[in-house]
Structure 1
Amino acid sequence: MTTATTPLPRTLTRDLPQHDGQTVRLQGFVHARRDLGGVQFLVLRDVSGVTQCVGSGLSLPLPESSVEVVGRVKAHPKAPGGYEVGVESFRVISAAVEAPPVEIPKMEWNVNPETMLDYRVVTVRGLRERAALKVQAELVAAFRDHLMTEGFTEISTPKIVSAGAEGGANLFPIDYFGQAAYLAQSPQLYKQIMVGVFERVFEVAPVYRAEEHATSRHLNEYLSLDVEMGFIEDEEDVMALENRLLAAIMTRLRERAAAEFALLGATIPEVPAHIPRIPLLDARKLVTEKYGHAVGGKDLDPEAERLLSQHYAETEGSDFVFVTKYPRAARPFYAHPEVNADGSVNAEVTRGFDLLFRGIEITSGGQRIHDHAMLMDSVAAYKLSPESLEGYTEVFKYGMPPHGGFAIGAERLTARLLGIANVRYARAFPRDRHRLTP
């Protein structure tokens, strides 16, 4: 018999199989409710899942109210999770004052996607929505854990900066006490500086891109998973690290997020021991000759990325492919040029790469310039202001080692892993060209 002074410990819905035939105390939200002739059915949702509770004479509050149920657990093959709870006592902890603007259990098939974002403060509670965010949380945790096992140190870099990291115009300006400043588009320059401190560093933080796009693959604020490592031979060391990192991430997802993948009908990919590589010019030629797709511009367009990924999935069974040897025109000023076998420098080709996953770019990376004279020549070639970059370039006067790194967009990788068509649904509160709230 429970009393006010000796309450039962809280049980999560996922643990009900361990309490078959026992009385438990559940706390959660009213996910759904039905009243059938005096018998009430309540689907209770907590952080671990949902379960059906059955009682009579209950005064059920509005959906999304937080409640407490005390009752006996019994097996039921048609109930969520195979168990239901017979209600012995019921308490409203905090009642919703109005009905939610959408029916959360039904919103997957009868709610306009824009409406789901307009009311994100509530719709993010949906089982599928939170499953995506849970996968992302595990992905980020695996990113941190693996890099720390390889001797990396986590850093934190400024998000208010005096100049852009990539020399472009896609910056959000802000007024910094009367001075012109910007939201950081990348921690690139700072993480390179920190290679001189810790040699191997990483950061998990938002970045900002003032690009007026409105596509299913772009955000104006996203979570960037950044890595930089020193004393490398060339970009192959960086790609090998990312190969190991992705394998570790997928292992953790299998161990910690299998239920979320099952809910979303998604599969966790196998990461090859050696992700295939192809130079950019060869990639462009391949998609043109094999698929008849003419590639314009200086990079791969979205259709070319899709076709190239299709080729490697069909021929090598790989969901991943590195596209390497990017031309200088397609890379920022700090990208290291290619060095020929005879030691000469090919200034028109860089040691930059992208990683494609299931038809979309999820990583941009490469070796960076570490020689001060070469870097200043590159700044001039890109017609950038040496003065605006002095806080960054001066570190290369002091013996910086060969180094390189990459950045992964957490939302884009999450969306691709789970088959989410629009990257906005892989972020709790997305910021895009037209959305500043909620």
Structure 2
Amino acid sequence: MVFVKTHDISELNSGTIGKEVVLGGWVEDLRKLGKMTFITLRDVSGISQIIVKGELNDNLEELNRQSVISVRGIVQETKARDFDFEIKAEEIDVLAKAIHPLPVDPIGRLESNIDTRLNHRALDMRNQKTASIFKLRHHVLEILRKTLAEKKFIEITTPKIIGSASEGGANLFSLDYFGKTAYLAQSPQLYKEQMTIGLERVYEISNFYRAENSHTGRHLSEFTSIDIEAAFMDYNDVMNILESLVMGVYKFVSVNCKKEQENIGHTIEIPKSPFERITYTQVIEELKKVGEKVEFGDDLLDSHLRIIGKNHPGFYFLTDWPMKLKPFYIREKDEDSKLSRSFDLQYGYLELSSGGTRLHNPETLKSRLKEQGLDPAQFADHLQTFDWGMPPHSGWGMGLDRLMTTLIGIDNVREVVLYPRDPDRLSP
């Protein structure tokens, strides 16, 4: 038995030539030429060629593609142009056989539609394009956490099972919680606001839930959200933080993830900055100029945002929305109470983030709840924290899945989520 790995394939270098190593991975390709077999072995880090000769070669009759093996052998130089080194095998153990044919082809020679791939998602991870998407997602999360920590934000984890609607919305999943009605959280909004009392700057990266019966390439029932909340900041401050995070992500992966870009077939271009900032009022004027029947106070439809997205390609902030279109916790502008201190981050027509300056006066907050037809009594736990000295604060939430689609140039969030959940998909 030789299945204890000593090296990942990516660790093979000129210093390992002549040394014995044990590799483990799956058989991506298999070519038998007389008394010799060439095995293409892949692990998560890379790919190598295995040379099998002699008696060992005679014992490979039942070995097939995608089976998992361990190989003990000697690293040597190779003449093969697709490999830096090769392994002369001295022992091979078949650890797990793969069936034939497989439901999807991990090499990608035979294409499968996205539903077939999602139904066999674990096997789809052996496809290097798919694997590279999730390696990029890993790096994006890594740089987000690193950057937020550098900006003195503290990571928190808020409940996902809650007793009341966190934002007063209707798109909530309800469940029986030991005889009580509970809900799956659609955001950490109220909790993260409360945390600014003592921690000042907080963030959370976690999954949230929205019972919205949408069938588009950008909506999911379970999604990953990046949320921040910061005391003593206004909406311009947190907009600046959001822009720096997006730029940091693009710069990092553009420079450090060349192999993943090659596998995906997409070059990540660093966007122009600073991001353009346009107001809701400007958007209404632009829409009227092209004949759209829209008035101040109307919500922007997808068709409107597609028009604006063509006028403003790439990233831009859409600011100063009417108060009537924003949640109860958003603060108005001092110079015009009809306008809010709020923003959306757009990528063309696609909304990535929404945020703003929050109300921190408890009496004003109670009045706003009533204005929006919500009962302050249902928010008693939240409102009491405002009596303990709530600092002025601002924040935003951004969809990680949507950000990933902009990064790799696709328009379907299901491609960047391991096991997506939507109105039609509850498994695997």
Residue in 2 aligned with 1:316? none
Q: Partner residue of 1:222?
A: 223
Structural mapping, 1:19-58, within 5 Å? 19=15, 21-23=17-19, 24-37=21-34, 39-56=36-53, 57=57, 58=60
Match of 1:209 in 2: 210
Q: Distance in 2 between matches of 1:77 and 1:321?
A: 48
Match of 1:72 in 2: 75
Retained in 2: the 8 A contact 1:298–1:329?
Answer: no
Q: 1:327 aligns with which of 300, 319, 322?
A: 322
Identify the range of structure 1 (114-123 vs 205-214) with the bigger mean alpha-carbon deviation.
114-123
Question: Quick one: which amino acid aligns to residue 302 of structure 1?
Answer: D
Instruction: Tell whether the 8 Å contact from 2:5 to 2:24 is kept in structure 1 after alignment.
Output: no
* Root-mean-square deviation (Å): 2.6
Q: Give matches, 1:365-376, under 5 Å.
A: 365-376=355-366
Amino acid in the other structure paired with 2:130: E
Structure 2 distance, partners of 1:60, 1:359, is 53
User: In the alignment, is the contact (CA less than 8 A) between 1:104 and 1:126 conserved in 2?
Assistant: yes
The aligned counterpart of 1:92 is: 94
Seen in structure 2, the aligned counterparts of structure 1 residues 161 and 266 have a Cα distance that, compared at 3 Å, is: same
Corresponding letter in the other structure for 1:225: I
Mapping of 1:253-268 within 5 angstroms? 253-268=253-268
Distance in structure 1 (CA, Å) of the matches to 2:292 and 2:76: 59
SS in 2 for 1:111: coil
Distance 2:339 2:124 in 1: 47
CA contact (8 A) 1:152 1:202 kept: yes
Cα deviation, residue 206, structure 1? 0.6
Quick check: 1:72–1:88 contact (8 Å CA) kept in 2? Answer: no
Please state how far the C-alpha of 1:230 moved relative to its aligned partner.
Answer: 0.6
Q: For residues 21 and 256 of structure 1, what CA distance do their matches in structure 2 show?
A: 27
Contact 1:138 1:256 in 2 (8 A): no
Contact 1:243 1:271 (C-alpha < 8 Å) held by counterparts: no
- Range moving further from structure 2, 129-138 or 299-308: 299-308
Q: For residue 170 of structure 1, report the CA deviation from its aligned partner.
A: 0.4
DSSP-derived class of the 2:402 partner: helix
Q: What is the CA distance between 1:355 and its match in structure 2?
A: 0.5
- Equivalent in the alignment of 1:245: 245
Return the match for 2:8 from 5, 9, 12. Answer: 12
Given that residues 105 and 111 in structure 2 are in contact (C-alpha distance below 8 angstroms), is that contact kept between their aligned partners in structure 1? no
Residues 254 and 269 of structure 2 are in contact (CA less than 8 Å); yes or no, is this contact kept in structure 1? no
8 Å CA contact retained: 1:44, 1:51: yes
* Residue 398 of structure 1, CA deviation: 2.3
Cα distance in 2 for partners of 1:26, 1:132 equals: 24
Give the superposition deviation at 1:308: 3.1
Checking the alignment, whether the CA contact within 8 Å between 1:379 and 1:386 is kept in structure 2 is: yes
Give the counterpart of 2:406 among 401, 416, 432: 416
Q: Aligned equivalents of 2:274 and 2:183: distance in 1?
A: 39
- Do residues 279 (structure 1) and 279 (structure 2) align? yes
1:38 to partner: Cα distance: 5.1
Q: What is the letter of the counterpart of residue 338 of structure 1?
A: K
Residue identity in the other structure for 1:202 = Y
Q: C-alpha deviations, 1:348-391, integer Å up to 9, x for none?
A: 32111111125411111111111111111110111012111111
Q: Which amino acid aligns with 2:193?
A: Q
> Unaligned 5+ residue runs, structure 1?
314-318
Q: Secondary structure at the match of 1:197?
A: coil
- The alpha carbon displacement at 1:161 in A equals 0.5
- Identity among equivalent positions (%) equals 33
Equivalent position to 2:396, from 406, 410, 413 = 406
Give CA-to-partner distance per residue, 1:235-288, whole Å, 9 cap, x none. 111101112222222333235423212221223342444221001231243255
Aligned length: 420
Cα distance, 1:67 vs structure 2: 1.1
**Local SS of the residue matching 1:156:** coil
What TM-score, normalized to structure 1?
0.88
Residue 392 of structure 1 aligns to a residue in which SS?
Answer: helix
Distance in 1 (CA, whole Å) between partners of 2:32 and 2:180 is 62
Q: Is the 8 A contact 2:254 2:270 kept in 1?
A: no
Q: Which residue is 1:63 aligned to?
A: 65
User: Aligned partner of 1:55: which letter?
Assistant: V
TM-score (norm 2): 0.90
Distance 1:17 1:26 in 2: 14
Deviation, 1:207, is 0.2
For residues 400-434 of structure 1, the C-alpha deviation after alignment (integer angstroms, 9 at most, x for no partner) is 11111111111111122112231011011111111
AA partner of residue 18 (structure 2): Q
- Counterpart contact for 1:62–1:99, Cα < 8 Å: no
